[in-house]
A and B are shown apart, each in its own frame.
Chain A
Amino acid sequence: QVQLVQSGAEVKKSGASVTVSCKASAITFSNYYMHWVRQAPGQGLEWMGIINPSGGSTSYAQIFKGRVTMTRDTSTYTIFMELSFLKSDDTAVYYCARSATLRGGFDTWGQGTMVSVSS
């Protein structure tokens, strides 16, 4: 059973930063791309960016450029998403997800991490 296991819920103040982690497997790190997708309460899905776990290259959605950083730790097969300068409308569930191809969809998702931002 393929699993992506994410870190726990976070509560942050406006202007702060948050880091969410997603632990995968050796096979996932070698053969898949990893993405971050968020979902605000009662809203739809929003793609944030992609990281290639094997090489570390990244690409971010335009609206998050300058605020998001995606990294990985190859020793623990874990990827990280840091979002800075948090605002109240960053309150959302953040998911990691993997894709087998660069352009294709997401076959496995993490359980989600709730990030709440208050002023």
Chain B
Amino acid sequence: QSALTQPASVSGSPGQSITISCAGTTSDVGAYDYVSWYQQHPGQAPKLMIYDVTKRPSGVSDRFSGSKSGNTASLTISGLQAEDEADYYCYSFTTNKTRVFGGGTKLTVL
């Protein structure tokens, strides 16, 4: 199972919005609504930010939102803040009953 495809890096200025894409196939992202997104700061464990494509766990800022169109999922962060600078990973369940992550995207807040 190949990793989902994410851009290596994205950047934005404080207050701006950015979107991170996660491209998969009809065997993973396109097959199910089991896409989630994780934020990871250096030296820390990942943190769940979005699950089931669009749902936000309790305690996660509403500046984070998720969506999906066909085989591509997206994470949008609005009103960028310095604390959002981190690595972001997407995840999907697959038709082979396995799980796959994206390669990760480094977000830089300028």
Contacts and interface: CB of A to CB of B under 8 A. Distances in A.
For this complex, into which size category does the number of interface residues on chain A fall? 20 to 34
Most B CB contacts (10 A, CB to CB) among A45, A62, A108 go to A45
Interface stretch (A7-15, A71-79, A98-106): A98-106
B48 A112 contact: no
Nearest to A48: B99
A26 interface: no
Interface centre among B51, B99, B102, B103 (most CB of A within 10 A): B99
B34 A104 contact: yes
Most B C-beta atoms less than 10 A away, residue of A45, A95, A105? A105
A55 interface: no
Report the contact-size class of chain B (Cβ under 8 Å from the partner).
Answer: 20 to 34
Interface in A12-52: 35, 37, 44-47, 50
B64 interface: no
Interface of B: 1, 3, 32, 34, 36, 38, 45-48, 51-52, 57, 89, 91, 93, 97-104
24 contacts: A37-B101, A44-B3, A44-B89, A44-B101, A44-B104, A45-B38, A45-B91, A45-B104, A47-B100, A47-B101, A59-B97, A59-B98, A103-B34, A104-B34, A104-B36, A104-B51, A104-B52, A105-B34, A105-B36, A106-B38, A107-B48, A107-B57, A109-B45, A110-B45
